Amino acid sequence: MDHHSWIKDEIGRLRQNNLWRSLRSVESLPLGRAKIDGREIILLGSNNYLGLSAHPQVIEAAKNALVGFGTGSSGSRLTTGNLNLYAELEEKIAKLKQTEAAIVFSSGYLANIGVISVLAVEGDLILSDQLNHASIIDGCRLSKAEKLIYLHSDLTHLEHLLKDAGRYQRRWIITDGVFSMDGDIAPLPAIYDLACRYGARLIVDDAHGFGVLGRKGSGTVEYFGLSKNRDIIQIGTLSKAVGGLGGYVAASKNLIDLLINQARSFIFSTGLPPATLAAAAAAVDIIHSCVETRQKLLGNARKLKNELHQHKFDFLVNETQIIPLIIGSAKRTLHFSEVLFEHGVYAPAIRPPTVPEGTSRLRISVIATHTDDDIRKVIQALIESRTSVDKIYQL
Ligand SMILES: Cc1ncc(COP(=O)(O)O)c(C=O)c1O
C-alpha cells in the first residue's frame, strides 16, 4: 500500500471507531469560560485550577519580562537561554517543595521523559502504576531499564513485584500524585513505606496536585505530610494550577546536576520565553498563600459532585477537582460532549487510548472562579443532554 492510501486508511479506521480527534479553536478564555464559534460557554475541562493565568500580579510580571527581555530565550539553557529568571523560579519551587534544589524543563512532558530516561538505566527496574500519564509511559519507553506495570494503586500487587526485584541494581517506583483522568490521589504513605522496605526510590508526578493539595499548595507529598522525606523525587508542571507552561523536578542538588548534564529533553530544547518564566515565578509566590482560593476550588468540586450524585450521574468518587463522568462507549461519549456543547458547556470527550476501552468519559474539572450559578447551569445542561442522548440510544 502506498503512503497516501495508508494515511487515508488510518484516518478511516480512527473515524469508524469514534476515536478521531479534531482541534477546536478557542477565540478567548475569560476565567472559567471559553469563547468558541462566537459563543461564550462554560469551560469544564480547564487545568487552570486557581485562575492564576489571569491574575493581575502574574500578568504584570509577564509584561515586565516581555519588555525587559523580549519574546524568546534565544537558545537552550546550556547555551544562551539560561535567563536569570530561571534561578529565581527554581528557588521558589524548591522552597515550596522543601527540597534542596529544583530544575525547570520546557514542559511537564519533557521533564518526565528526561528524568526517567536518565535515572532508570540498564540493569534497573521501573515499577509504574497502570494509570500513569502518557509522559511517564513515554519516559519508561525511552529508558533502558526493565519495566513492570502494577495494578492501579494496588499495594499488594506492588509489594508482590518488589519482593521479586532483588536482582536488579536499582528499583524505581513511579506514580502520578493525582491521576489525571480519574482524579484520585495515590496512596503515597504506603507506597513510600514499600519503597523504603524494598530499597526502591519513589518518583511522584504531581502535575494535578501542585498548587491544589496541602496547606501551602505544595502538592500531594505535603498533603500526606511526607515533605521531610527528601529522597522522594517530585516532578510537576507549570501548565496547570500555575497557569502557564513548563515542567519541573524538585530533588537533591546532585540529582538536578545530573539531569542538567544528561537529560536530552533538557539539553536539546530551547529555554522557555521570559514572560512565561516570570509569570510562573509570580504564580508560585501566590500559591504559597492562596489558601482561600484552594478552599474555593475544592468547595466547588464538592458542590458539583453533590449535585451529580443527587441527579444519579455515574462518576468516579475522589477528593480532588477532577470529576470523571463515566459514559462508556467512545461513540456515546463523543455525542454527549457535542450535545452538552450545544447546551453551553464544554467538557471534552476522553476516549481510548487516553483511558481504557469502555470507560470513555467527560473529564470535568472545576476551577476556583466558577460560581454557584455556573454550577447550577452545568447541572441543568448535563441533565438535558443526558435526556436527549438517552433517547437516541434507546431507539
Ligand atoms: C500527570 C501529568 N503529567 C504530565 C503532564 C504533562 O505536562 P505538560 O502539559 O506541562 O507537558 C500532564 C498534563 O498534560 C499530566 O496530566
CA–centroid distance, 354 to ligand 1, in Å, is 13
> In the annotation, is 208 catalytic?
yes
Is residue 239 lining ligand 1, measured as CB closer than 6 Å? yes
Q: Are residues 281 and 309 in the same domain?
A: no
CB 214 within 8 A of CB 222: yes
Is residue 180 lining ligand 1, measured as CB closer than 6 Å? yes
Q: Write down the catalytic residue from 143, 180, 218, 337.
A: 180
In a domain, 3, yes or no: no
Is residue 69 lining ligand 1, measured as CB closer than 6 Å? no
Q: Which amino acid is at 160?
A: H
Is residue 133 lining ligand 1, measured as CB closer than 6 Å? yes
Q: Are residues 33 and 165 in the same domain?
A: no
> In the annotation, is 240 catalytic?
yes
Q: Which of 237, 264, 289 is the endpoint of a domain?
A: 289
> In the annotation, is 303 catalytic?
no
Ligand 1 nearest-atom number relative to CA 179? 1
In a domain, 5, yes or no: no
In a domain, 205, yes or no: yes
CB 378 within 8 A of CB 44: yes
pLDDT tens profile 22-77: 998 999 888 999 999 999 999 999 999 999 999 999 999 999 999 999 999 999 99
Q: Are residues 107 and 229 in the same domain?
A: yes
Q: Are residues 323 and 180 in the same domain?
A: no
Q: Are residues 269 and 308 in the same domain?
A: no
Q: Which of 263, 289, 315 is the endpoint of a domain?
A: 289
Is residue 247 lining ligand 1, measured as CB closer than 6 Å? yes
Nearest protein CA to atom 10 of ligand 1, as residue: 108
Q: Largest Cα–Cα distance in the chain?
A: 63
CATH number at residue 359: 3.90.1150.10
Is residue 205 lining ligand 1, measured as CB closer than 6 Å? yes
Q: Whole domain around residue 34: which residue ranges?
A: 20-50+291-394
Q: Are residues 95 and 207 in the same domain?
A: yes
Q: Are residues 178 and 321 in the same domain?
A: no
- All three cell numbers of 312, joined, read 444519579
Q: How far is CA 21 from CA 134, 222, 334, in A?
A: 17, 37, 10
Residues 6+ apart with CB under 8 A from 45: 346, 347, 348, 363, 364, 365
- What tens-digit pLDDT sequence spans the chain (395 residues)? 899 999 999 999 999 999 999 998 999 888 999 999 999 999 999 999 999 999 999 999 999 999 999 999 999 999 999 999 999 999 999 999 999 999 999 999 999 999 999 999 999 999 999 999 999 999 999 999 999 999 999 999 999 999 999 999 999 999 999 999 999 999 999 999 999 999 999 999 999 999 999 999 999 999 999 999 999 999 999 999 999 999 999 999 999 999 999 999 999 999 999 999 999 999 999 999 999 999 999 999 999 999 999 999 999 999 999 999 999 999 999 999 999 999 999 999 999 999 999 999 999 999 999 999 999 999 999 999 999 999 888 75
Number of domains in the chain: 2
Q: Are residues 166 and 248 in the same domain?
A: yes
In a domain, 283, yes or no: yes
What is the CB neighbour count within 10 angstroms for residue 122? Answer: 9
Dihedral of alpha carbons 182, 188, 189, 190, sign: positive
Q: Write down the catalytic residue from 92, 133, 240, 335.
A: 240
Ligand 1 nearest-atom number relative to CA 176? 1
CA–centroid distance, 205 to ligand 1, in Å, is 9
CA–centroid distance, 155 to ligand 1, in Å, is 24
In a domain, 266, yes or no: yes
Residues 6+ apart with CB under 8 A from 315: 305, 308, 309, 323, 324, 325, 326, 364
Is residue 90 lining ligand 1, measured as CB closer than 6 Å? no
In a domain, 39, yes or no: yes
Residue 216: name the closest of 68, 134, 93 by CA.
93
